[in-house]
Structure 1
Amino acid sequence: MTCTLVTPWLGRPLSPRSEPARGGVDATAILDWGAPVFELLPTRAAGEASSDHLRATHRTVGARIGAVYGLDDTQPASSTLRRGLGSCSQRLAVIEACARRAGIATRVEGLVLRGEFWYPRFRYLRPFVPDRVLLAWPSFLIDDAWLDASVVFSGTGCAAPQPFTNSGEETLFDAAARAPISWAPSGDPGCLDLSGAVVHSVGMFDSRDELFAAYGQTLRRPVRVALDPLLRRRHAS
């Protein structure tokens, strides 16, 4: 059983939008790559391929920022980097900010996921799990083509990946580096097929700022304010 009362949507549908998204490299309120803390991260070497730089950034962020259950999807990437702790969404935002800092354009797809997808991580809190979760899933402009984050992070991919269970120490952030993730039905045996978790897509957006400004975050603000101080210190396990 999932809960509709903790979301700002209260059961109403999240209608997809059809406007195209061109992405960009500009800093935003969330992707605030101009903050001094980003100077502590490795910069893109001259001649380094965009994909190589992003894979290295994923490894660096994974090593420097511990996985916790933070709830604020609009937290500035610089704050996540300074704290050294972040949710999958917050850690992905750090990578997006680093990409833009290196001149690599980013954009996100708004994916509405079923709340049941998160049951394995919140076994004792199922009645409070939202019925739908809005996920900002990034892609990067590499050699004039938009590539899904997991395609970039995983490189050559995996011929027969183990299923992603959304439990234990492996998070969605981690899984994206071991095999491409398919959010739509796919017959590719090399993909992690997570299409069963998707209700629908609300389309592409120039930035995660734009997505959450249009649809709001998954949890209503009073719920986030009450729970985030506790969950953002709880390590994913």
Structure 2
Amino acid sequence: MFTIDNNIEERDVQPIIRLALENFADLANKVVRPSSSTGFLCKAILSAEIGAYLQDILTGYYGNLGGSIIVARNLEANILGFTLGMESSSADHCGISYAAVQKDSRKQGILRAMLHPFQQRYQTIDLSCHPKTVSIYQALGFRPYGRQAVQIAMRWGAPKPQGIMPTINVESFESVRVAHATAYRDVPQKDWNSLVNARDTRIREIMKFLGGQLPIQHLSITD
């Protein structure tokens, strides 16, 4: 059993971030392996970004950017899943920035239930996802239309041009600056080279997949 709501409190922020970090290899728009030497850097960026958007939703700290959060809870009110969305400059269009469901709570309709409020509110919803989760979003009515870095861009609803999504630049955050400095100091060059090779391989795989779905002239490519 689970419930869906959009009323988070400060006490919900860390459980949401923890859930995101448990799934960081799938959520990050980078090729990353959970056990890799650069994983901590991706985690620092992901944690800072989600934390900032949640603070803006709670307090308007960054100017009320138009973010919204839907969470799934169990009967004890613990977080089972979350979906973080951002309204674009077009009021009938939004993007899903991040979505995750606890591993032992999957295949219960939680993601579908969390997306439903967005589908009721907006005509068009965009997101990008790890290639292995494409089929999950396809089952929820999303269709691939391009590549966004090393993820597959997908859209639900009316095929219309994207509006501009507000963003928070977390590169200047202390936690992110420290993680960058540590990574550049301690991560061996061979590991950086491995990431570049893995990125190139992922992009080739994505383009091969998309080439079987859409004519190349209709693809949207963003790096």
TM-score range, shorter chain: under 0.3
Q: Greater strand percent: which structure?
A: 2
TM-score (normalizing by structure 2): 0.27
Query: Higher helix share goes to which structure?
Result: 2
TM-score (norm 1): 0.26
Q: Which has the higher contact order (CA 8 A, sep 6+)?
A: 1
